[in-house]
Structure 1
Amino acid sequence: MTKPLYIRMKQSIRIPPKQMIRVHDVARVTGENRKKQMVEHMILHTVKPEDRNIIVVDSFSIIERILNRFPDSEIEILGPNQCVVHVENQKRKPNVFLVSFIWLLLFVGAAMAIMNFHYDVSMEMVQQKLHFMLTGEEEEYPLWIQVPYSIGLGVGMILFFNHWFQKRFNEEPNPMEVEVFKYQEDIDHYVAIHENKVEQQDENR
C-alpha cells in the first residue's frame, strides 16, 4: 500500500530575485523519506524579471507535478491552498535626510493632533477646574497636574505600542503590528486569487 504524502502550504515567503522556487520553499512535506526528499527538491518556478515582485504558487500545481513524476502517489493537502511568494530586491541603505524629514513630519503631525484634541475637549479648562476642586484656589497653569499628565501621556503611548526604539517590553504584538499583519493577510488573499502567475503559465503550456 502506498504511503500518502502530506503537504502543508506556507502562507507566504520572501525570496531574492532570480531564484528557483522549489517545493520545500513554499510547503512542508512529510511522508516516505525517499519520496519526500525528491518531492521537496522539485522545481516549481524560476523567478524572472517579468514576475515583478509577487508570485502565487497553488497547491494544485504542486499536486500535478508530483503526479506527473509519481503517478501512484497519494497526496493530502493541509492548510492553505496557495503560497504567496514576495520577491525582495536588495535593500538600499536608507537616506538619512529622507528619514529625518519623515520623522520630523510625523512628529509635528502627531503633536498637532494631540494639541487639537486637547483644545477640542477643553483640557486646560478641565485641569484648572480640577485644581480648584482639590485646592480651592484658582490657578491659570496648574503645573502639578499638567506636568505629570504630559509625562504620563508619553509613557502611555510607549507602553501602548510596546516599543522603546528597538527594545520590546514583552512578546505581545502592538496594535500597529496587528493592523499591518491583517493588511498583509488581505493583500496575500487578494493576490492569491487574482495573480496566480505560476498556474497561468502551466495552463498556457
Structure 2
Amino acid sequence: MSKTVYIRLRHRIQSVPETSLVLADLAQIAGAENHPDLGNLKIHDVTASDRTVVVIDVMEVIRRIQQVMPGAEIQTIGPSQTVVEIVYERKKRKLVYLVAVWFLLFIGAAMAIINFHEDVSMQAVHQKLFYMLTGKKDSDPLLLQIPYSIGLGLGMILFFNHVFKKRINEEPSPLEVEMFKYQMDLDQYAAMNENKESVKKLDDH
C-alpha cells in the first residue's frame, strides 16, 4: 500500500548565498511520519550564479521526493512554485546619504502640498470661511490655517498608519497594500521568466 505525502510549497522565502535549501525550507509536509528525514531532503544549492532570485518548481520537488520514497504517492496543495529571494549582506549607509535623501523627500513633499494648495486656491478658501464664521476679513486667517496644518500632518500619519516604525493599528495602509500588489506582480514575473521548468524554447529537446 502506497503512502501519501502532502506538500504545500511556500509562496516566497528568503535565503543567503552559499546555502542549501531543504524541503522543510520550501514547503509544509504532512503524511511523512515513516520518513522523518524527508524535511532534510536537499532541493537546491544557492550559489552566486542564482543572482537575486531563483524559482523552485514543484516538479523538481516531486522528483527529489520520489528518489528517496519511490513508492510514495505525492499530493501537492497550493502554489506550484516557490520564489526564493537571495539576500546579500547590505553595506552600511553613511549618515550623510540618509540626511540627503530625507532632505530631498521632505522638500519634494512640501512642494507637492504647496502646489496643490495653490492650484485649489486654499488661502482664498480659508479667507472666505473665516469671513463666513466671524464676519471679519483677514488676509492671513491663522485661526483656521494653524489647525488645518496640524490636521494635515495628523491625517498623513493616520493614512500611512505609522508613527516612525510603530504601527497604529493592524489595518494595512494603502501604501502597504500597493507594495504588496507590486511584490506579487514581481513574484509572478519571476515565476514565469526565471522558472526553467515553465520556459521551453523551440530548439530544446
For the aligned pair, the TM-score class normalised by the smaller chain equals over 0.9
Counterpart residue number, 1:190: 189
After superposition, what is the alpha-carbon deviation per residue over 1:28-55, rounded to whole angstroms, capped at 9, x for unaligned? Answer: 11113132x3321111111111111111
5+ long unaligned stretches in structure 1: none
SS in 2 for 1:33: coil
Q: TM-score, normalising length from structure 1? A: 0.93
Q: How does 1:116-135 map to 2 (within 5 A)?
A: 116-135=115-134
Query: Structure 1 CA distance, aligned partners of 2:49 and 2:197?
Result: 12
Structure 2 unaligned residues grouped into runs of 5+: none
1:195 partner amino acid: E
Poorly superposed stretches of 4+, deviation over 2 Å: 197-200
Deviations 1:47-66 (A, max 9, x none): 11111111100111111121
Cα shift readout 1:64-100 (whole Å, capped 9, x = no counterpart): 1212322211111111000000110112222211111
Residue 197 of structure 1 deviates from its aligned partner by 4.8
Q: What is aligned with 1:5?
A: 5
Counterpart position of 1:27? 27
Deviations 1:2-39 (A, max 9, x none): 3311100101000111000111111111113132x332
CA distance, structure 2, for counterparts of residue 83 and residue 32 of structure 1: 21
Q: 1:1-205 to 2 correspondence within 5 Å?
A: 1-35=1-35, 37-197=36-196
Deviations 1:159-204 (A, max 9, x none): 111111111111122111111111111101111111025888xxx9
Q: Work out the CA distance in 2 between the residues paired with 1:187 and 1:199.
A: 16
RMSD, aligned α-carbons: 1.6
CA distance in 2, matches of 1:9, 1:142: 61
CA distances 1:82-140 after superposition (whole Å, capped 9, x unpaired): 00001101122222111111110000000000000000000000000001111111110
Whether the 8 Å CA contact 2:192–2:198 is kept in 1: the answer is no
- Give 1:172's aligned amino acid: E
Q: Distance in 2 between matches of 1:102 and 1:192?
A: 33
- Output the CA distance in 2 between the equivalents of 1:122 and 1:199: 56
CA, structure 1 residues 30+59, in 2 after alignment: closer, same or farther (shift >3 Å)? same
Letter aligned with residue 65 of structure 1: R
TM normalised by structure 2 equals 0.93
SS of the equivalent of 2:34 reads helix
Identity of aligned residues (%): 47
Structure 1 residues 87 and 197 mapped into 2: Cα distance closer, same or farther (>3 Å)? farther
